[in-house]
Structure 1
Amino acid sequence: MTENRIPLDDLMVFHQLARSLNSSLDLDTILRTILDQMERIIAADMWTLLMLDEQHNDLYYAIASGNFEGALRDLRVKMDEGVAGWVVQHGETLIVPESENDDPRLQQTLAADRRRVRSVIAMPLRGRKGVHGVIEILNPRSSQMSDYTIAFLHILCDHAAIAIENARDVARIQQLTITDDATGLYNVRHLYKMLEHELDRARRLHHPVSLAFIDLDRFKMVNDIHGHLIGSELLARVGSRLKQLSREQDSCFRYGGDEFVIMMPETSATEALALATSIHTELINTRFHMSNDLELTASASVGLATCPPENLAVHAIIGAADARMYEVKSNGRGKVRGA
């Protein structure tokens, strides 16, 4: 009886594959490792890896071989479109050889240089929590499309899916450690870490960094009149509004209680005053529609600090902004006090 054994060289590839995929919890590194392994296993015109965007219910090109990555970066694939959409919807591998290249799904599969897709191998990245994406191999060499190679690719996909899930789980846990539960903004622990990094960057590059310290006025009355549930909801809505009003490069934090901080990198004192004044005006004119059909507004007192001329220490710039906020509190509330 003949015993079919896996060649030692292939066993070493399996071993190296598992080690590579499990040695990192960084998603980009894992995706690059997957692509590198695909290129070693099978010759083809192009390899792509599409990831599922659950929020938009479509697929995006996370990585591609050669010079195609940039060309594909902004393309999206609908869930009912082409080979990749079919694979995600059905959770099954799809192999279309050249002899069947009239398959309409091939015509919807777009390569970066618009070359004709003659054949394809597409496999789902299916883990414990469902399908996370698709590996597409476009125009693979027909001589290499053996059962052995397909089985090898399946093993790659299984390991890849597990590695992707592990990376996402770690990223989710890390996000929870820096996020405030009530508002979804960054927490004070992360403020100190980010501000220290930004102040170090400001020192090296001689760029200013500004901080806005925001305290809601008479927030205790909201809790006393409407209860703590409504108070917590208002905090969340204010936090969301502050993030919406801030620039993309700025970061919003819940400092504690009814206090918020906005960190503004590369922003001078003059620019910070203009930005904070605009945010403050928009905030106090916002009408928040609460879950119990109540409509509330929020007033706030804002203090600013900018480094330089403030001290380059984390506590110093926070303390300066906090002190100016309390000056506003002591002089009628509801205004912005610049550096």
Structure 2
Amino acid sequence: MTENRIPLDDLMVFHQLARSLNSSLDLDTILRTILEQMERIITADMWTLLMLDEKSNELCYALASGNGESALRDLRVKSGEGIAGWVAEHGETLIVPESENDDPRLQQTIAAETPRVRSVIAMPLRGRKGVHGVIEILNPRASQMSDYTIAFLHILCDHAAIAIENARDVARIQQLTITDDATGLYNVRHLYKMLEQELDRSSRFRRPISLAFIDLDRFKLVNDAHGHLIGSELLMRIGVRLKQLSRETDMCFRYGGDEFVVLMPETSAMDAFMQTTTLHRELTNTLFHMSNGLDLSASASVGLATSPPENAAVHAIIGAADARMYDVKSNGRGKVRGA
């Protein structure tokens, strides 16, 4: 009886793959490792890795290698559509050799700009929590489409799915440590970390950074009149609205209680005043529809600080903005005071 053994070279590939995937919790690094290993295992015209967007239930091309990869950057594939969509929907491997390339799903596989697709190997990246993505190998060499190679690819996909889940779990845990439970904004611990980084970057590249310290006016009256549950809900809704009114480059934080901070990188004192004045006006004019049927509004007092000319230290810039906010409180509330 002949004993079937895995060649030493293939065992080394497994070993290197396991080490590479388990040595990183960075998702981009893991995805690149997967694609690199695919290229080593099987020769083809193109190797693609699609990740599933759970919100839209669509696949997007995270990485591609080979002829025509640039055509895929903005392409999205609906679940159930084409080869990749079918694999994502069913969680099963699909192999279409050249002898069966009249399969209609081939025509939906990728954009017209890429090479003509004659054959495909498509495998799900399926872990404990479902399908995370799909690997597509386009026009693989027929001589390499053996049972051994397919089994090899299945093992790679299993390792890859576990690594992806681990990376995402760590990312979720890290997100929880920097997020305020009540509002969904970043917490004060993350504020100090990001402000320190941005102040250092501001100093090195000589670009300004501004900070708005926002304190809600007479918020205690909301808790007294409607209870703390409604007060907490209003804080959450205000947090959501602050993010909506801020620019993509800005970062929003809950400082504590009914106090918030908006960090504005590469923003001068004048630009910060204009941006924050608009934000303040829109926030004040917002009517928040509460779960118990109440419609509530919120007023706020805001102080601004900018570095430079403020002292480029974390506590100094927060202290300057806080002092200006209290100055507004002492002089009628409901306004924005700049540097």
- Alignment check: 8 A CA contact 1:50 1:60 kept: yes
Equivalent residue runs for 1:80-159 within 5 Å: 80-111=80-111, 113-159=113-159
Amino acid paired to 2:195: L
Q: In the aligned structure 1, how far is the partner of 2:203 from the partner of 2:210?
A: 13
Counterpart residue number, 2:75: 75
Counterpart residue number, 1:302: 302
Q: In the aligned structure 1, how far is the partner of 2:73 from the partner of 2:222?
A: 47
Counterpart residue number, 1:164: 164
Counterpart residue number, 2:12: 12
Q: In the aligned structure 2, how far is the partner of 1:69 from the partner of 1:333?
A: 56
Q: Which stretch of the first structure deviates more once superposed, 94-103 or 12-21?
A: 12-21
- Alignment check: 8 A CA contact 1:210 1:306 kept: yes
Counterpart residue number, 2:194: 194
How far off its partner does 1:124 sit? 0.3
TM-score normalised by L of structure 1:
0.99
1:184 and 2:184 equivalent?
yes
Amino acid paired to 2:250: D
Q: In the aligned structure 1, how far is the partner of 2:239 from the partner of 2:203?
A: 29
Amino acid paired to 1:202: S
How far off its partner does 1:71 sit? 2.8
Counterpart residue number, 1:208: 208
- Kindly provide the CA deviation profile for residues 146-176 of structure 1, in whole angstroms up to 9, marking residues without a partner as x: 0000000000000000000000000000000
Counterpart residue number, 2:250: 250
- Alignment check: 8 A CA contact 1:287 1:295 kept: yes
TM-score normalised by L of structure 2:
0.99
- Kindly provide the CA deviation profile for residues 254-276 of structure 1, in whole angstroms up to 9, marking residues without a partner as x: 00000000001111111111111
- Alignment check: 8 A CA contact 1:68 1:112 kept: no
Counterpart residue number, 1:36: 36
- Kindly provide the CA deviation profile for residues 113-151 of structure 1, in whole angstroms up to 9, marking residues without a partner as x: 332110000000000110100000000000000000000
How far off its partner does 1:67 sit? 6.3
Amino acid paired to 2:181: D
% identity of equivalent residues: 85
Q: Which stretch of the first structure deviates more once superposed, 70-79 or 130-139?
A: 70-79
Superposition misfits of 4+ residues, deviation over 4 angstroms: none
Q: What residue ranges of structure 2 are gaps of 5+ in the alignment? A: none
**Matched residue of 2:123: which SS?**
strand
**Matched residue of 1:65: which SS?**
strand
- Kindly provide the CA deviation profile for residues 276-308 of structure 1, in whole angstroms up to 9, marking residues without a partner as x: 110000000000000111100000000000111
Amino acid paired to 2:99: S
Q: In the aligned structure 1, how far is the partner of 2:107 from the partner of 2:97?
A: 14
How far off its partner does 1:111 sit? 4.8
Are the structure 2 counterparts of residues 115 and 143 from structure 1 closer, same or farther at C-alpha, using a change threshold of 3 Å?
same
- Alignment check: 8 A CA contact 2:216 2:298 kept: yes
Q: In the aligned structure 2, how far is the partner of 1:97 from the partner of 1:126?
A: 23
Amino acid paired to 2:146: S
Q: In the aligned structure 1, how far is the partner of 2:286 from the partner of 2:144?
A: 63
Q: What residue ranges of structure 1 are gaps of 5+ in the alignment? A: none
